Amino acid sequence: MKTTAPLLLLIEDDPQFRLLLRTTLESQDYRVLTAATGRDGLIEARNQRPNLLILDLGLPDIDGQDLIRRLRISSELPIIVLSARDQESDITQALDNGADDYLTKPFSTAELMSRIKALLRRVAKLPGGAQETFQVGELKIELTKRRVFVGEREVHLTPIEFRLLSVLVRNAGFVVTHRQLLEKVWGASYVEHSHYLRIYMGQLRHKIESDPARPRYLLTEAGVGYRLCEEEIQ
């Protein structure tokens, strides 16, 4: 095992699933710490300084949401939450509390690996700030020049549309919740106005997507938020 490999902390109370995940992660050369309770997990997070946390939201002792809030007071530790299906509101709340991404059980190993890699990559990029130009497929966005292209064609966006798109660009590959988008684009007093988002997202898709009803770039995460894809899906 390489000592330079990223150190992952896994907080999961189900012993079989914990062992399975641990084995899977170690087979990918990650170093893995595990905790079966929120309390032990918090101690490990503080003492061992892991590079990333994988957190099951349903824990026996501490509420997963509470654990995220407590960690976020003093830590930027990247967090991927694991949640059972049909718990959309839990996922949204976890992201609003400061989690970075989520996976719904059951998920594939490949899915987990790609989320971990994406999150570690984003953290590594942070000191340099957001990239000036973002490109995926035919879509190209120049952030400081505020210009957007689809192939050779320049697309003209309104200021609100551009702000909405740039928040998604800065979080490319990651879900941004409805609340986070409303707060960042319109302001804190608009967090309940989700119809704004539907309208503006519709306009953006109309301008950017070749088939707005089947978007390739601006993806809907049902009940949670939106994700700008980082790599084009075929």
Q: Which residues bind Ca ion (CB under 5 A)?
A: 13, 56, 58
DSSP state for residue 6 in the 8-state scheme? P
Q: Which is nearer to Ca ion, 13 or 96 (CB)?
A: 13
Q: Which is nearer to Ca ion, 67 or 172 (CB)?
A: 67
Instruction: Report the first-to-last Cα separation within the chain, whole angstroms.
Output: 36
From the CB of 82, what's the least distance to Ca ion, in Å?
8
Q: Which is nearer to Ca ion, 82 or 118 (CB)?
A: 82
Please check whether residue 54 is in contact with residue 9, taking contact to mean a CB–CB distance below 8 angstroms: yes
Phi and psi at 225, nearest 5°, equal: 170, -145
For residues 27 and 49, give the distance between their C-alpha atoms in angstroms, rounded to a whole number. Answer: 21
From the CB of 202, what's the least distance to Ca ion, in Å?
37
**Residue of closest CB approach to Ca ion:** 58
From the CB of 62, what's the least distance to Ca ion, in Å?
12
The DSSP H or E segment spanning 120 is helix 109-125
Q: Which is nearer to Ca ion, 82 or 119 (CB)?
A: 82
Strand order in the sheet with 153-155: 133-136, 139-142, 147-150, 153-155
Q: Which is nearer to Ca ion, 56 or 101 (CB)?
A: 56
The DSSP H or E segment spanning 228 is strand 225-228
From the CB of 105, what's the least distance to Ca ion, in Å?
9
Please check whether residue 118 is in contact with residue 230, taking contact to mean a CB–CB distance below 8 angstroms: yes
Describe the crossing of helices 178-185 and 194-208 by its angle, rounded to 10 degrees.
Answer: 80
From the CB of 59, what's the least distance to Ca ion, in Å?
6
